[in-house]
Structure 1
Amino acid sequence: MNYRIVHTSDIHVWDFPVNPVLWVGKRTLGLGNLILRRARKFRKEQLLNLAATIEEDQPDHLVLSGDVSTTSLSSEFEKIHLAFQEWLGDPRSATVVPGNHDRYTQWAQRRRLFDRYFGNTTHNEPYPMIKNLTRGLDLIGFDPCRPQPISARGLAKLSHIKSLRRIVSQIHPDETKCVIFACHYPGEVPREFLRFEKGHEMVNARLVVKSLAALHCPVYWLHGHIHYPWRYPSPTASNVVYLNPGAPLLKRKTGISFGRWILDWDGVDVTAEWKSAPNSARELVDFA
């Protein structure tokens, strides 16, 4: 058997709200940053090309690990939903977990905008949630994201960690041979990238890592948040490997990467390969 997962993150589709009410509060800062920086760097006009590239990868399951939007606008979520509609209609075909930009404001959080568009991919269950992808392969979705006045920190609530431990304890080694953990934040960051984590880390991350370390099987932690692609084996949990695809629509000197991880499950092992546009291949930092 062969089961393929394609994972990308931090697409950061952006839009300017027509309604002036939506410019107030934290979104004012975000939109100011968008006008000055992000609108030039994140090439939203390439979104459909990214979706077409992923379609060529022929995934059985698509994972988007957060920050599909920039300021949690309905119009941003709509663009993502339209681009990936082939997968998003069925939770067997896609999993979308939120990033901090998808929980950007209290206004968006109260209205559960992200969940309206993508909640069906996690069966509209509270986080953490688990679903079986195929024989021997399970996926756990985790959401530490919350609106913050200034910082981009996430919080793994103790109640969520307790729920995660319960899920882990119920995973049977005879049935599950590998776990995909979809969470916007990494639990650990390579030393070379620690400067990007200041003010952007997940509080209680070590407790999440410790919970996953209790599993008997390999865990592939699919995340984003820091816009550089890497493969990073956990220094504290021997069964955990972090896979960060980078930001696929972020324009760098080498162009737009369309970066994504391809994970092929053969019923026994996962083979993970980072794919990108030809000129961007050297961006990957592989710590394996």
Structure 2
Amino acid sequence: MFLLAHMSDPHLGPMPSARIRELAGKRAIGYMNWHRRRKTFHRGEVLSRIVADIKSHRPDHIAVTGDILNIALPGEFAPSRVWLDTVGPAHDVTFVPGNHDAYVRKAAREWHSHWGDFMKGDTTGADHFPFVRRRGEVALIGLSSAITTAPFMATGKLGPQQLHALAELLDRLSSEGLFRVVLIHHPPVTKAAYRFKRLIDADKFRQVLRRHGAELVLHGHDHIHSLVMLDGPSGKIPAVGVPSASAIGGEGDRAGYNLYSIGRSGNHWRCEMTRRGLAPGTETIVDLGQRALMAA
């Protein structure tokens, strides 16, 4: 049995100091939003408790699906690498970026030097998306939906090159008999109220999944527990979202993460999901429910 943990949107604090010239444009809005509101519910001590709880279950691998930063200030990058190292060694932790990690255009220049070890494929470099990491019978496929957007927008996009490469990878990994887990920040299905946060080419992403299949899609971004069953070539594909791993309030659910027990039973896969997170009204982490996503 392979145990996979998934968390997202840590939004690491505190916000580092910033020079006036670093707060031009969209960053100025994000900086004010952090200090007026977001820092009150993205709490470092809660994130530490979530990470400790994940480690207590001794997962074989941990996936982190983006938004490790807030407004991509230069001073945010080094602490984010330190935090990733506390989660686990790069071999055992996979990271894909989110929209806050691409808050300004030049932010992507820093990805390789700070997070490259955590978003590097077995045979490709850190600047290559999609990438693949094979861990036992599980294949982790990392996508980047992170793009720089205008103020008050948080949309994402994969683009035709990633989508074409993803289709080929899904076919190849299927022929190898692997359990394919697609990691992406933005969800493949967005509620109407979240259109300003949507994945722009979500319909094309879903078409790739419908034609080429996958066993599991994991994402963050909406800061809520969610489960959508997508169409695949031979059955439904669970697409699962998690809340921010540091949040005690705000617009989404309280901090949580998921565990996935993955294994074979004969010629079929079994996958059971366990939700864990802050209990209502407390800061104690408890089981929030289990569900079989795939049963032999």
Q: TM-score range by the shorter chain?
A: 0.7 to 0.9
With normalisation by structure 1, the TM-score equals 0.85
Q: Using a 3 Å threshold, how does the CA distance of structure 1 residues 89 and 283 change in structure 2: closer, same or farther?
A: closer
Aligned to 1:232, the other structure's residue is in SS state strand
Aligned CA RMSD, in angstroms, stands at 2.8
* CA–CA separation in structure 2 for the residues paired with 1:230 and 1:53: 21
Query: Aligned AA for 2:98?
Result: G
State the 1:37 CA deviation: 1.2
Per-residue Cα deviation, 1:206-258 (whole angstroms, up to 9, x for no partner) = 11111122235x521110110111222126774321111111211229x9944
State the 1:262 CA deviation: 0.1
Aligned to 1:144, the other structure's residue is in SS state coil
Per-residue Cα deviation, 1:99-145 (whole angstroms, up to 9, x for no partner) = 00001111323xx223322221222141111221212x211111121
Q: Which moved more, 1:118-127 or 1:24-33?
A: 118-127
Aligned to 2:173, the other structure's residue is in SS state coil
With normalisation by structure 2, the TM-score equals 0.83
User: Is 1:164 matched with 2:166?
Assistant: yes
Q: Which moved more, 1:43-52 or 1:154-163?
A: 43-52
Percent identity for Structure 1 against Structure 2: 20
Query: Aligned AA for 1:132?
Result: R
State the 1:16 CA deviation: 3.4
* Partner of residue 219, structure 1: 215
Per-residue Cα deviation, 1:145-164 (whole angstroms, up to 9, x for no partner) = 11112211111211211111
Per-residue Cα deviation, 1:183-212 (whole angstroms, up to 9, x for no partner) = 0011113xxx431x2211111111111112
Q: Using a 3 Å threshold, how does the CA distance of structure 1 residues 29 and 86 change in structure 2: closer, same or farther?
A: closer
Q: Answer yes or no: is the 8 Å Cα contact 1:212–1:219 preserved in 2.
A: no
Query: Aligned AA for 2:181?
Result: I
Q: Answer yes or no: is the 8 Å Cα contact 1:5–1:63 preserved in 2.
A: yes
Q: Answer yes or no: is the 8 Å Cα contact 1:129–1:141 preserved in 2.
A: yes
* CA–CA separation in structure 1 for the residues paired with 2:275 and 2:77: 26
Unpaired runs of at least 5, structure 1: none
Q: Answer yes or no: is the 8 Å Cα contact 2:4–2:60 preserved in 1.
A: yes
Q: Using a 3 Å threshold, how does the CA distance of structure 1 residues 176 and 215 change in structure 2: closer, same or farther?
A: farther
The correspondence of residues 104-119 of structure 1 with structure 2, limited to 5 A, is 104-109=103-108, 112-119=109-116
Q: Using a 3 Å threshold, how does the CA distance of structure 1 residues 235 and 262 change in structure 2: closer, same or farther?
A: same
The correspondence of residues 201-280 of structure 1 with structure 2, limited to 5 A, is 201-215=198-212, 218-234=214-230, 238-252=235-249, 257-267=254-264, 268-279=269-280
The correspondence of residues 1-288 of structure 1 with structure 2, limited to 5 A, is 2-14=1-13, 15-90=15-90, 92-109=91-108, 112-123=109-120, 124-135=126-137, 137-150=138-151, 151-173=153-175, 175-189=176-190, 193-195=191-193, 197-215=194-212, 218-234=214-230, 238-252=235-249, 257-267=254-264, 268-279=269-280
List, as ranges, runs of 4+ consecutive aligned residues in structure 1 with deviation greater than 6 Å: 280-284
State the 1:39 CA deviation: 1.2
Q: Answer yes or no: is the 8 Å Cα contact 1:263–1:273 preserved in 2.
A: yes
* CA–CA separation in structure 2 for the residues paired with 1:279 and 1:84: 28
State the 1:44 CA deviation: 2.6
Q: Using a 3 Å threshold, how does the CA distance of structure 1 residues 75 and 44 change in structure 2: closer, same or farther?
A: farther
Q: Answer yes or no: is the 8 Å Cα contact 2:274–2:288 preserved in 1.
A: no
Unpaired runs of at least 5, structure 2: 121-125
Q: Answer yes or no: is the 8 Å Cα contact 2:140–2:180 preserved in 1.
A: yes
Query: Aligned AA for 2:225?
Result: P
Query: Aligned AA for 1:179?
Result: R
Number of residue equivalences: 276
* CA–CA separation in structure 1 for the residues paired with 2:287 and 2:4: 22
Query: Aligned AA for 2:19?
Result: N
* Partner of residue 123, structure 2: none
Aligned to 2:17, the other structure's residue is in SS state coil
Query: Aligned AA for 2:25?
Result: G
Q: Using a 3 Å threshold, how does the CA distance of structure 1 residues 55 and 239 change in structure 2: closer, same or farther?
A: same
